[in-house]
Amino acid sequence: MDYFKYINESIEYESMLVAMKSEIHDFMENFKDDSRFISGWGHAYFCNEDGGRLIYDIHKPLEHKCSICGRIYDEYMYNACFVTMMRNEAIVTALKSSIMYRVTKEDQYKLIATDIIEFYAKHYHQFTLHAKDQINCSPTTDVGGAGKIMPQGLNEAIIAIRIVNSLELLKDSLDKDWLLMVKETLFAPMFELLVPQKMHIHNIPTWINSAIGVFGLFFQEEKWIAEATKNPFHLFEQLQKGVTESGFWYEGSIHYNFFALEGIMNFFVSAKAYHFEIDQKYQDIVFHMFEAAYDYAFDNDIFPNPSDGWPNISLKTYSYVYYMAYAVFGDKILPYLKHIENNPVPRARLPLSEPYYYDNRIPLTRIMYCPEFSDLKSDRIKSRGSQSFEASNCAILRNDTYNLFFKYGHQTKSHAHPDKMNIEIMVNNQVLTKDLSNSGYASKMCNEWHRKIAAHNTCVIDGMPSDISHPGTLLENSDTHVKASTKAYDGVTYTRDLTIDGTVLTDIFDVELEEKNQIDWFFHYETPVNIDGLKLTPVSMFSEYGRIEEVKEITLSNSSITIENELVSMHLDLEQGMRLYLAKTYNNPADKMRDTLIIRTTSSRARIKSTIAAK
């Protein structure tokens, strides 16, 4: 099939091509980059008060408006982040222009793509080496490494891959001397910059290996290919050591699972194009990651979302990676793609490293690797059931009423939150309680709330964060029942026992301590609590956690109480000495608040039992 002729003649892509043309020309009219501009860390491009993503506007380089509260930031840090966003858009514009050249055969689009790439190639030596806000530093100063065009080696690797993807589309029409210039002035020094940053098993060196491998294959430079595939911490070592037997990236975040996968798949796509053989065991690991992500998702395709990442994401958020998988695995991946695209729920977007989507529906990877998607037929996807992901310290229970996700341990501190024993619950495909994940890492909302233990459905001892580096122990598991324990603190053991039976969910949380301490149990509602009939007394408490507001004690007439909302009734059995509170806590995004139940007691042991009945 002549894919580009197909795209040009397809009604399905007609409006997308029109939009892309307009976006390309609008960007080029306003594109003014300079090697003296220093890029900023994208995680700082968030409101410092509420964690809202700032609005990037190519027409307003010195004005950055919060998407939630409307506050305008104009400090240098945000201007530097604008530079990062602009350069990302420049490279994506080069990629879009390369596609437009192949579709329309109009030389202007080839010229736009090569002009952008040439600017960065000819001026690469003039850009300042920096790691976020550290200037002229060692390439390994920061965990993300250092970059020149971009604020980290990680981001430098990402744009390197996107530049090569653009060059691949233009390859047959490019002058060999021009390509040699790009290799020598851009990719050769990039190689020297990135190699020292391959120091451990992590998503960042995974991206770095992929970038080196992709431009190594493109230029057929054996030294570069070997660095990516054979030298210490190479890409296949990352897969072997970084993916658990459950099929997930070890950092315990579904976003970073897909983020690592995106880097990996860029190399796999190039390897297939250049007939570079990849051992079947690594192909199996990667395919298992795509399968496991489907099995992990709730029935509505929204993801359980522990640890660092972004809120409200779903399988559709990462459809662009599944299109890359189609380029490698073909019909094996098609049932997953069909399932994702047939879900009518709109795609939740990523605030950083967002790939290009037309109308938030069609990614560039679809045009590049599977433009005929609508014409393809596939088998029905396998149904989901309850799953134990023991090697990743989590499990999910399912029946016709509930999807219950349970996280009981960690593999690593990297990107971890103090959330041992956290649960997330869907009731009839509606969210009863969820993990917030977080906003940008530099925002106060992220660090003062989203990453704090009290933002999760678990217990807290003396207001302190719990362990984030050790696994838990799965004790019992079936299609309707899961029980696990963990050492949450020195001398403190948590055990949580969860059972679903028809429309009833039973949750028993046991806490055992070597000494008597303060114990706080948290449960966060997405759907507000019905306060009718509750006797509420305002109190000033829980200031040690921050971001907890409007605290009210609920007067108890006996040792049990039933709390209602529109989805469920929650019956709580309280032991002697336990007191119950209702508060408001911040959601993510932070323009909304959640109702939060808190049980407080002081003891050397506690059992909190809740029985949830769906309505």
**Which pLDDT does position 94 carry in this prediction?**
98
**Which pLDDT does position 1 carry in this prediction?**
75
| 306 has a pLDDT exceeding 90 | yes
Give the pLDDT band of residue 236 (cuts 50, 70, 90).
Answer: very high
Instruction: Output helix, strand, coil percentages for the chain, rounded to the nearest 5.
Output: 40, 25, 35
| Residue 518: C-alpha distances to residues 77, 426, 444, 461, 542 (Å) | 41, 30, 27, 6, 12
Q: What is the amino acid identity at position 593?
A: M
CATH architecture designation of domain 387-614: Distorted Sandwich (2.70)
Residues of the chain above pLDDT 90, percent:
98
Tokens of 441: 């890492």
CB proximity list for 22: less than 8 A, separation 6 or greater: none
d(CA 135, CA 155) in angstroms, rounded, equals: 16
| 242 has a pLDDT exceeding 80 | yes
**Which pLDDT does position 101 carry in this prediction?**
97
| 172 has a pLDDT exceeding 90 | yes
Give the pLDDT band of residue 435 (cuts 50, 70, 90).
Answer: very high
Tokens of 354: 């967002």
pLDDT digits (tens, 9 = 90+) for 479-519: 999 999 999 999 999 999 999 999 999 999 999 999 999 99
Query: Is 583 strand, coil or helix?
Result: strand
**Which pLDDT does position 49 carry in this prediction?**
86
Residue written as token pair 């310290």: 393
* CATH 2.70.98.70-classified regions of the chain: 387-614
pLDDT digits (tens, 9 = 90+) for 361-415: 999 999 999 999 999 999 999 999 999 999 999 999 999 999 999 999 999 999 9
Give the pLDDT band of residue 459 (cuts 50, 70, 90).
Answer: very high
**Which pLDDT does position 449 carry in this prediction?**
96
Q: What is the pTM of this model?
A: 0.97
147, 137 contact by CB (below 8 A): no
Average pLDDT, the chain: 97
Query: Is 449 strand, coil or helix?
Result: helix
* Average pLDDT of the segment spanning 418-429: 98
Instruction: Of 76-80, 142-146, 155-159, 420-424, give the lowest mean pLDDT range.
Output: 142-146
User: Which one has a higher pLDDT value, 596 or 353?
Assistant: 596
Q: What is the amino acid identity at position 212?
A: I
Query: If we measure between CA atoms, which residue out of 439, 440, 436 comes closest to residue 453?
Result: 436
pLDDT digits (tens, 9 = 90+) for 8-59: 999 999 999 999 999 999 999 999 999 999 999 999 999 988 999 999 999 9
| Residue 531: C-alpha distances to residues 117, 140, 213, 593 (Å) | 60, 54, 59, 16
d(CA 547, CA 349) in angstroms, rounded, equals: 26
pLDDT digits (tens, 9 = 90+) for 182-223: 999 999 999 999 999 999 999 999 999 999 999 999 999 999
